[in-house]
Amino acid sequence: MAVKANIVLEQGASFSTDIDITDAAGARVDLTNYTANSQLRKHFSSTNATATFTCTTGGTNGTVTMVLNYANTADITDGRYVYDLTLLNTSANTKLRAVEGIVTVTPRVTQ
């Protein structure tokens, strides 16, 4: 089951967050054979992504870093969105949804 985690993005600013992936006992998961993907959409039934996060896995330390640069966030209209983070185990060919939540994009004043 995916962990719920909400995000606030500032329109026109760089965004980066580290997410620690742990097992049921709280130990960090070895992500050596995993790739991560995450998209931002207006709602769960949207067929097109509003933005795609650049995701990197930290290997044995169990961390995934999600990034959107300022040019990407500048193009997002302020409001509420949804996202999730999926992990693909490339050796076992299994996929899981690790994190999901609501993204609030706050409007900018300064261009």
Q: Pick from 91, 37, 29: which is nearest to 67 by CA?
A: 37
Residues 86-111 have a mean pLDDT of 95
Give the mean pLDDT of the chain. Answer: 95
Residues 19-30 have a mean pLDDT of 92
What stretches of 19-108 show up as alpha helix (H) in DSSP? Answer: 70-74
The rounded radius of gyration (Å) of the Cα atoms in the chain is 14
Q: What is the pLDDT of residue 1?
A: 67
Q: What burial class does residue 36 get, using C-beta atoms within 10 Å of its C-beta: 0-12 exposed, 13-18 middle, 19+ buried?
A: buried
Residues 5-29 have a mean pLDDT of 95
Q: Are strands 94-106 and 7-10 parallel, antiparallel or unpaired?
A: parallel
Q: Band of the pLDDT at 111, cuts 50, 70, 90?
A: confident
| pLDDT (tens digit per residue) in 46-91 | 999 999 999 999 889 999 999 999 999 999 999 999 999 999 999 9
Q: Please state, in angstroms and as integers, the Cα–Cα distance from residue 103 to each residue in 39, 60, 71, 76, 82, following that order.
A: 11, 28, 17, 11, 5
Q: For residue 89, what are its two tokens?
A: 């185990």
Q: What is the pLDDT of residue 31?
A: 96
All domains in the chain, ordered by first residue: 3-106 (2.60.40.10)
